[in-house]
Structure 1
């Protein structure tokens, strides 16, 4: 991966963006694509990059990856200055005790830790039980409610403190890869298309959407605004090459083996065929899974927007989803961007996506 792209990825995932509080990450996305796309933002906070194509009756193609991450929100300040919190999105209460966090206040981010009773003080029969999120609390070092209230307000967003770090080879770990890795791929597709020697025969919209983790909201509104003929959602998916995940349930998917092309009722067959055939013709590695239902992604709402949209998913293998240590392969991100760019040049006309 080129250095400028990696620096963009690092800035993007490290920018705080719990659902409803995505502005810092969206500013990073907007700044990056501003040099090679026409950029707009809507009232929801979705950011759109547009590159006009050439030719008559050209398709309108929309790419989307969501910028929001799971997180926490301040709910209550007790008399001793401890902060109680609620989850934003699917936060696992198993993992939060003992974590370092960042509370994003009006005056800037402050450090905190999720408190945890020492094991020595826990009754043996209680040691295997999970502490409910509403019983957990954050210690920012304040000694009173007044001191805490001078720093923090109810409703302030909280993120895990973990930042992007390299592991071995091209593997990286960070919080927020779900789905800022998808937003990254969307931005890279826009960049690569802008660098092509000739314009494509499609009008291309690349969207970094918001509030996916709390109801696919940005995907719904952005697709309504764009009115695409074709939609491709770039998301993460469960890697099954870790010891404790069942391949029989989630399919055989590994890091570094290319993006994933799912099949199922959420996927337009003709668009799937274009992506799959392109991968073969361009020697881009891909993996396949089946999703026999509506997917829990922006592809779901894209497909049923207005009168219907020919929709596909390009997914990125991810280990440890919805934890502070999500892990992926940079090669999979690059392969996903290359696949989408190559597929854009092979799009047919509107009628070619109709099943009968």
Structure 2
């Protein structure tokens, strides 16, 4: 059961806004929380934040969950005081018109709405296709360019309005599930491991710029130089209409975290994780992922230095890359338990060479 203190941390983290490259709010919350139980906490030049247990151990295990999110960036201010923008990460155009957003200025958050031409004024052909992002704008209530320029500047990041709430008994909704839920799990796993006697060093990393090409994972994994690494991200729940199980498999919210079999996942470490999960009767779901390689920090961490034994643990997610992503707390608890028990069982003498170990 996730504690009230941990749920408070989850809410605080989810309410942060941090489009890729601008993750300062999330980093500050993550750093403060880890400082209560880590032997060492630091943030690097990219913005990745790392909490460490047992730093003198030669055998290092890395945990990674990215706390950046998709968003936008201001590129032009019109004479009417409207802000034109570009996407920052993988934006679904269908969800954008009518959104409430926040411009993250140097001084404070500025509320705005994403506007478009009213449906009454669209031609029949225009009504059939979603508008291009270049045909949309952000209205912050400014009456002209001069007024808008006093409030915002070119290059300011823009985020979906912050939100977090419980839905039903076990489910949670936020714009930032991808992947602040992974960063939360990484932090909670480190907290649980701080209560254990460890034979390995553990490095829990909140990574940055995943949505722009797994960039924070590249530098942080080089820094940590782990022997093994666990990446936590969201995966596609297939328990909603029109998502084809024959392509993505059967993945349900609340049935456990997803354990992945793909080229990004070390076979030996994968067997170890499943053995530990089975031993402790922790439910999990099997997935082959939505493609053979890539798409999460796992892919870059695996290729760091001379190679790392990696494992991707995914939290089923509905409505990914929207302002209303939904996950299940039972899957979150399962992921924390699997990683905690697996790492606590390590002796520091493990080897992960496929076909030999």
TM bucket, shorter chain: over 0.9
**Residue 130 in 1 paired to residue 130 in 2?**
yes
Note the alpha carbon deviations across 1:124-178, whole angstroms, 9 max, x for none: 2221111111111010011100000000001101111140011111111110110
Native 8 Å contact 1:74 1:84 kept in 2 = yes
Aligned runs of 1:304-343 on 2, under 5 Å? Answer: 304-343=303-342
Note the alpha carbon deviations across 1:268-306, whole angstroms, 9 max, x for none: 111101111111111111001114522211110111111
SS in 2 for 1:228: coil
Note the alpha carbon deviations across 1:184-222, whole angstroms, 9 max, x for none: 0000011111123xx111100000010011011100000
Distance 2:101 2:211 in 1: 19
Native 8 Å contact 1:70 1:322 kept in 2 = yes
Distance 1:349 1:66 in 2: 26
Native 8 Å contact 1:220 1:302 kept in 2 = yes
> Relative to 1, partners in 2 of residues 1:8 and 1:161: Cα closer, same or farther, differing over 3 Å?
same
Native 8 Å contact 1:162 1:325 kept in 2 = no
Aligned runs of 1:140-179 on 2, under 5 Å? Answer: 140-179=140-179
Distance 1:251 1:350 in 2: 35
Specify the alignment match of 1:278 in structure 2.
Answer: 276
Specify the alignment match of 2:224 in structure 1.
Answer: 226
Distance 1:109 1:12 in 2: 16
Aligned runs of 1:228-267 on 2, under 5 Å? Answer: 228-267=226-265
Native 8 Å contact 1:64 1:232 kept in 2 = yes
What TM-score, normalized by structure 1, do the two folds share? 0.96
Native 8 Å contact 2:199 2:347 kept in 1 = no
158-167 or 143-152, which deviates more: 158-167
SS in 1 for 2:11: helix
Distance 1:137 1:263 in 2: 42
**Residue 39 in 1 paired to residue 41 in 2?**
yes
Note the alpha carbon deviations across 1:244-291, whole angstroms, 9 max, x for none: 211111111111011100002111111101111111111111001114
Deviation at 1:58, TM superposition (A): 5.2
What value does the CA root-mean-square deviation take over the aligned residues? 1.3
Native 8 Å contact 1:53 1:201 kept in 2 = no
> Relative to 1, partners in 2 of residues 1:348 and 1:248: Cα closer, same or farther, differing over 3 Å?
farther
Specify the alignment match of 2:292 in structure 1.
Answer: 293
What TM-score, normalized by structure 2, do the two folds share? 0.96
Q: Which segments of structure 1 move beyond 2 Å, counting only runs of 4 or more? A: 345-352
Native 8 Å contact 1:73 1:87 kept in 2 = yes
Distance 1:75 1:159 in 2: 14
